[in-house]
Amino acid sequence: MGHNPKYRFWTRENWAGYAPTVGDMERKGWTLTLHCRVCPLEIGTSLPRIIAARGRTWSPWGKSAACPRLNCVGRMRARAYDPRSGFKIDV
Ligand SMILES: [Zn+2]
């Protein structure tokens, strides 16, 4: 394991092309977590649950959702972990 140097210079656009949908992310073994930009809240997510709710072709790239913490005005953004390269990508 560890970082594969092949991916070191990949941009966010490269990653978005590599796994454009939640179905692609699941097939590649990615895990997604949600992080608030304002408060320290982090939430684990389940790709199978997202796929069940939104379908395999739904794309989380560039999407955000209101932080569920009381009185927080922040937005939650997803961060992906790619086990093949060991990289974390801001989705
Ligand atoms: Zn928050």
**pTM listed for this prediction:** 0.88
How do residues 24-65 score in pLDDT, each as one tens digit? 999 999 999 999 999 999 999 999 999 999 999 999 999 999
pLDDT at 29: 97
pLDDT at 5: 74
What is the Å distance from ligand 1's center to 11 Cα? Answer: 27
What is the Å distance from ligand 1's center to 2 Cα? Answer: 31
What is the Å distance from ligand 1's center to 24 Cα? Answer: 28
What is the Å distance from ligand 1's center to 66 Cα? Answer: 8
What is the Å distance from ligand 1's center to 35 Cα? Answer: 8
DSSP string of 12-70, one letter each residue = HHHHHHHS-SHHHHHHTT-EEEEEESSS--EEE--HHHHHHHH-TT---TT--EE--ST
What is the Å distance from ligand 1's center to 41 Cα? Answer: 6
